[in-house]
Structure 1
C-alpha cells in the first residue's frame, strides 16, 4: 500500500536522527471550541511530531475518565464532526508539514457518512484515521474507502491481540501501527506493562512499518524505556490532565509546559 508521505517522512527523519517520534492526542473542542488551534500550536512548539485530534463521542467505550470528561465538555459546547473537520482545516493551513490524524468511533463516521467524511479528510489534508472500535479483523470495508482517498487507516493492537489480528493489522497497515501498552481504557498510569515489548516484537515479524506505543504514558522515564523498542510514543490523557489542572484560559501554556518537561 502507498505510504502516507507526511507520516512516513517524519518517522524516517526521526529514525535517521535516532529519535523517537512524539505523538500527542488532543480532544478537539476542549476545553473550549476556540482553544484547539492554540493548543496544537503549543504542542508543536514543544517538539511534538504528529497531532492526533480526538472527535468527541457520546459513548466512548475505549476512553478513560479523563478523556471521557474532556469529550463531554466539548460535546456540551457544541462540538461535532463537522466542526472537528473545520478545526483540522485551520490547523493544516497554519502547519503544512505536520502530520494530522483523526481518532474517533465508527458511529461518528456513520452518522456523518463514511465516504463524505473521508472525502473531506482528504481535501483538508488530514493524513490518517484511527477508529477506536474497529478491530483489524473487521476493517476490510473501511480500508477500501481509506485507500480510495489515500488516508492511512492506523490499526490498534493490544497485548491481548490474537496472532491472526496482528497478522491482518500488519498486512493492511499504513502510516504506523498503534500498540496499546495496557489493558483497559485510556488513562495516566504509573507503570507500563512489560508485555508491550513482546507485542512490538510480534508486529516486527510481519512488517517494517513504524510502531507507536500509547495508553498511560505520562513521564520522561516511561518514554525513555519505550524508546528502546518502539518508533513512537503517544501521549493523551496526561496532556488532557495538564489542561484540567489549570485555568481554561491558560490551556495552551499548560500544555506547552507539560510537554516541554516530558519530551524535550
Structure 2
C-alpha cells in the first residue's frame, strides 16, 4: 500500500473528502518553495502535487507556465526537486507527494535512474500528462514495479470507449479534468462534474479527484461534494506569483482545504 492508498483509506474511514494542492517546485525560488511545501500538511492538504518545471508545458495555462519559467530562471532542476522532497520527508513520512509534469526531463535522466531516485526521495505517485496509455510500457508499468502510483487524467472528452483504456493501469486515484482546455481557463461546475464523476466511478474502485477551475473555498466544497475530493493549483500558484509570503499562501490554502473538508 502506497502513502496515497493509505491516505485515501484513512479519509474514507473518517467520511472526509480529499483536498489536493499543487505548487510548482522552485517557484518563486527554492527556499520559498520548500517553506511552502513544508507548510502544506499543516494547512489541511491531504495530498501534495509538486510540479516539475519544464520549458514547454503544453497542458498548462499562463499562471502555471509563468511559475515554471520563474522556477527555471531560478535554477530549479529535477535533482533539486527530488532533493526538496527528500528534505520534506525528514519531518513528514505520511503526506503523499505526487510529481506532476512532462516526460522529457524524466526521459533525459533515464527511466530506471529516475524511478530509483524518486522512490528514494519519497515520491509516491506520478502524473505525466504527455504519456498516453498506449505508452504505458515506457514509464507507467515500470513506475508501478517500484511501488509508485501512476495517476491518469480523464477529461470531458474521455468517452465510454476510451475510458477503459485510460483506467487500465491507473493506480492511486483518477484525476478528472473538469473542463476542456488548459489549466486556469474556466470555472468548474458541480452540475457538470457530478454525472461525469459517477460515470468514472462506475468503471473503477479508485477515488476520483476533480481539478481545474477551482478557485474558492465554496467551489472546493461544491466540487468535492460530487467527487472524492478536489485539486487546486492555479489559484494557489497565482498567490505565489503575486509575491505573497509563505504564511499568506498557506492561509489561502487553509481556506480552500476547509472548504473541501466541509463537503
- TM-score, normalised to structure 1's length? 0.92
How far did 1:196 drift?
2.4
Q: Name the SS for the 1:126 alignment partner.
A: coil
| CA contact 1:62–1:185 (8 Å) conserved in 2 | yes
| CA contact 1:188–1:238 (8 Å) conserved in 2 | no
| CA contact 1:171–1:206 (8 Å) conserved in 2 | no
Aligned to 1:133: 130
Aligned to 1:232: 229
Aligned to 2:3: 6
How far did 1:59 drift?
0.2
**Residue deviations 1:174-233 (CA, integer Å, cap 9, x gap):** 110100011111116444374322321221122111111001111122122222221121
How far did 1:72 drift?
0.2
Moved more, 103-112 or 64-73: 103-112
- 2:190 paired with 1:196: no
How well do the aligned residues superpose, as a CA RMSD in angstroms?
A: 1.6
Q: Name the SS for the 2:26 alignment partner.
A: coil
- 2:255 paired with 1:261: yes
CA distance in 1, matches of 2:99, 2:150: 10
CA distance in 1, matches of 2:126, 2:119: 11
Moved more, 221-230 or 118-127: 221-230
CA distance in 1, matches of 2:185, 2:47: 20
- TM-score, normalised to structure 2's length? 0.93
Where structure 1 has 5 or more consecutive residues not aligned to the other structure, the ranges are none
Q: Name the SS for the 2:31 alignment partner.
A: coil
Aligned to 1:50: 47
